[in-house]
Chain A
Amino acid sequence: MTKPKGPDLHLNVSGMCCPVPLIRLAASVKTMAVGQVVEVIGNDPLFETSVRHFCQANNHALLEVAPGEGHGVRMRIGVGGEE
Chain B
Amino acid sequence: MTAPAKRKKGTILLVSGELDKAILAFEIAAGFQAMGMEMSMWFVLYGTNCLRKPRSRFSPAKWLAKLRGGPGRRPETDIALQHLVSGLNHTGATHLPLSQLNFAGIGPVLFRHILRRKGMAQLEDLIVFARDLGVRFTICQICVDAMGFTVPDDLVVEAEVNGVSAYYLEVTDADYTITL
Contact = CB atoms under 8 A, between A and B. Distances in A.
The judgment on whether A and B are partners is yes
Interface of A: 15-20, 22-23, 25-27, 53-54, 56-59, 81-83
A11 to B, nearest CB: 13
B3 to A, nearest CB: 5
Interface stretch (B14-22, B91-99, B114-122, B168-176): B114-122
A22 B37 CA distance: 13
B120 A23 contact: no
A75 to B, nearest CB: 15
Interface in B27-43: 27, 30-31, 33-36
A22 B129 CA distance: 11
Contact of A25 (B3, B27, B34): B34
Contacts, number: 49
A18 B121 CA distance: 9
Interface residues of B, number: 18
SS of A interface (majority): helix
A13 B121 CA distance: 12
23 contacts: A16-B121, A17-B119, A17-B120, A17-B121, A18-B31, A19-B27, A19-B34, A20-B125, A22-B34, A23-B31, A23-B34, A23-B133, A25-B34, A26-B34, A26-B35, A26-B36, A27-B34, A27-B132, A27-B133, A57-B35, A59-B1, A81-B3, A83-B3
B27 to A, nearest CB: 5
- For the complex of A and B, the 9 pairs showing the least CB-CB separation, nearest first, are A26-B34, A19-B31, A17-B120, A22-B34, A23-B34, A15-B119, A23-B129, A58-B36, A20-B121
Nearest to B30: A23
A83 B3 CA distance: 7
A81 B36 CA distance: 12
A54 to B, nearest CB: 6
Contacts of A18: 31
Contact of A59 (B3, B34, B121): B3
Interface string B103-145: 0000000000000001111000100010011000000000000
A58 to B, nearest CB: 5
Nearest to B132: A27
Contacts of A53: 35
Contacts of B35: 22, 26, 53-54, 57-58
